[in-house]
Amino acid sequence: MQSKYALELHQLTAKPSRRLINQALKDEQALNSTFIGQDRAKDALAFGLDINARGYNLYVMGEQATGRFTLVREYIDKYVNSAATPDDWCYINNFEDEREPFALRLPAGESKTLYKEINILLDELLDTFPAAFDNPGYQRKKAAIAREFEQGYDKAIDAVESLAQRKGVSLFEEGGVITFSPVVEGKTLTDQDFAELNEEQRTHFYKLIDELEDSLSEALIELPKWKRASSEKLRALKNATAEQGIKPLLKKLEHKYAADLAILKFLRQLKPHLVETIVELLAEEKKDEKSDERADDLDKRSILEEQYLPNILVAHSLDSGAPLIYEPNPSHQNLFGRIEYTNVQGSVYTNYRMIRPGALHKANGGYLLLDVDKLIEQPYAWETLKLVLKSGMLKMDIPQHDTGMVNSITLNPQQIPINVKVVLLGSRDLYYTLQEYDDEFYELFRVLVDFDHEIPLDKQTLFDFVGRARSQVSALGLSDISAKAMYRLVEFSLRLAEHQNRLSARFSEVIELLHEAAYFCRKAAVTLLDVTHIEAALAAKTHRTGRVSEAVLDDIKQGQILIASDGVDVGKVNGLTVLEVGDCMFGTPARITSTVYAGATGVVDIEREVELGQPIHSKGVLLLTGYLGHKYAQLFPLTLSANIAIEQSYGHIDGDSASLAELIALISALTKIPARQDLAITGSINQYGQVQSVGGVNEKIEGFFKLCQHRELTGKQGVIIPKSNQINLMLDKEIIAAVKSGKFHIYVVETVEQALELLMNKDVGQLNSKGRYPKGSINYTAVLSLLNIANIVSGGED
């Protein structure tokens, strides 16, 4: 009876093709593999990258550690090599309004050339000026202007002096100050002599000097006008000299960039401002002291650089292809750029050369990869990104200005047109949340790249898996990997996927295993990675993370947790559970008990009553009533009181994988038929008694096996799992060996009745033509027990 439900050895684990693995190990083409399977994702990625329309950005959907980032980046890397290299971008000074710098677009590679050319221009300016102002021609013209002014001044003074002499007064000029002194008998009077004059003479001279001062004022009334005219002539001379000096320098640049209108426009705007700067900065007479001459030259060059050197925002080499940028910390500044400030004599200062690019600037004309979960956590970043993608223009704003948090004067750089394909990487939950709550999300991210968490095992995926594993081994500095080690890696991936025909998409865990195996490989002083190193790495990780699982098993061994592994008992069944602590997942048996008595409270889930049972577990228990009513109470009301509990469970319980075990414990308590304790069982049920698949089946089996192994295998022990879980078996070699020797058994069932038959060693019983079950069968006993309870509760006779 039991053998018809028992699995054969070949059904307990997958058998990947060793021939295909060996072929892939020898084929160099395998090393070029990028994707392992993921045809849907690959097609969507190719479509999203190829289509050139606004709004067709990509959302790469999949769970962490499935290799989304690596695969997408490698795929785009190969794709962008043939793409055109985008233009360079610079910011240049806006001489009319320095707070609004101009953006300058240049062909790829030209920005650094322009920067170099302007640097040479500044060197030539410093060489030309102020030397040009020491030219004899300039000095003669300058002296003539000064002489013209002085001649007019001297003429006016001479006229006043002649008038003074005629009136007996002498004129003196000393240190730019003009004074008058009386003359008596050909002698200029001193202050003492003047004091000795009588009152009438003094009054006469006072009056005379007042008249002369008035005459002097009238003669020099146009002195400021003469000074202005002289200064304007000198300024015009300086401007003409500066313009004459820079004209050939700029002419050379204009000739070189004759085909580039943007640079020509910049050079034409540069010319008048450059003349002014030279006149202000470099039109000074050379000083006699040369101690600070070098420092002075450096200061002058620094001033020129701050005004005229272009600020290269993004530069590309001519054949670099489209850029691929990943921004791990997508803050507003990291994405959209920032404007830096410096402190000058206690004041905050900035200019166009302190504009710094963001990831969008760098990715312009190419591709930008972002983690969407990090992006939406950053203030202003998500809304600004949507605005940029909608408008196609990138404006460098400080968002804090809009909220009144920053009041300092800043720049308003010219907007830059953006043509970038944004690739968001995120989870399924986040994708559906954004679709539901953000109306603009689908308009901007129309291409979904959906990564499966499992990959069908076929010739191509196995080939790609081996290729990527070989590439990783090579990257670790090892010479090669053996066929047995590669076979074990494939088994490991199948176990991760919990499927005999599907590889796990979490290739990062395969890489992690390779890293740990490489450690043992180097420890053994060899460069060939073998299966022994893989096994050593797996054993070491189990040991590192196995403290909790060992503690639980020790408690069972010591009798602290009550689990029987032989004999029979009424109302008690060994269920199988999975615990996940950190990155450690392990199975352990749990005793499920049930009691039944006369009453009408129904089936009570003790876990639910004390709020330890989560919704899915409670749903599984509620289904038991549906099964009992459908199966046994078609001719009378279903009336009973029963309690079900998972014993010695002190934490929250979720999942319906214990519902089959709970039902069997309930039927055992109802019928008083004992259930076998040397078998453990897992599976969920529906109301019609069909057994449904559950998760973690390998860990559950291994958990009960370890306990039986510790207490010695009797040859009768085993586990019962849903038949639909047979495909998920990837059991440990130790269990396969025990099954092979007949010491342990794996049974599969499709219905509750098959499970009852196995656990109670008794005929379940089928309905006959009269609608009754055979006497003595499990179903007959269950109907009879329920009918007795119904009669007791309703007050009827047995």
Q: Could you list the active site residues? A: 657, 700
Edge-to-edge, what's the strand order for the sheet holding 169-174?
Answer: 169-174, 177-184, 187-188
CB-based burial label for 429 (10 Å; 0-12, 13-18, 19+) = exposed
CB-based burial label for 59 (10 Å; 0-12, 13-18, 19+) = buried
* Cβ(71)–Cβ(506) below 8 Å: no
Core vs surface per residue 523-533: b (16+ CB within 10 A) or e: eeeeeebbbbb
Omega within 30 of 0 (cis) for the link into 637: no
Cα–Cα distance measured from residue 615 to residue 155, given in angstroms and rounded to the nearest whole number: 111
Whose structure tokens read 């600070």?
292
Cα–Cα distance measured from residue 541 to residue 538, given in angstroms and rounded to the nearest whole number: 5
498 CB neighbour count, 10 Å cutoff: 19
End-to-end CA distance of the chain: 35
* Cβ(103)–Cβ(416) below 8 Å: yes
* Cβ(697)–Cβ(682) below 8 Å: yes
Query: 398 in helix, strand or coil?
Result: coil
Cα–Cα distance measured from residue 198 to residue 325, given in angstroms and rounded to the nearest whole number: 100
* Cβ(368)–Cβ(422) below 8 Å: yes
* Cβ(507)–Cβ(36) below 8 Å: yes
Cα–Cα distance measured from residue 324 to residue 335, given in angstroms and rounded to the nearest whole number: 14
589 CB neighbour count, 10 Å cutoff: 27
* Cβ(599)–Cβ(790) below 8 Å: no
Amino acid at 539: A
Sign of CA dihedral 131, 137, 140, 142: negative
Q: For 197, how many CA atoms within 13 A lie in the half-sphere containing its CB? A: 17
Q: What is the largest CA-CA distance in the chain?
A: 168
177 Rama sector, left if φ>0, alpha if ψ -120 to 50, beta otherwise: beta
Amino acid at 272: P
Beta bridge partners of 454: 504
Provide CB contacts within 8 A for 347, sequence distance 6+.
none
Amino acid at 594: S
* Cβ(385)–Cβ(325) below 8 Å: no
* Cβ(677)–Cβ(565) below 8 Å: yes
Transcribe 222-233 into DSSP letters.
Answer: THHHHHHHHHHH
Provide CB contacts within 8 A for 444, sequence distance 6+.
55, 57, 386, 389, 390
Beta strands in 634-715 (DSSP E): 641-646, 675-676, 679-681, 684-685, 691-692
Bridge-based pairing of strands 572-581 and 584-597 is antiparallel
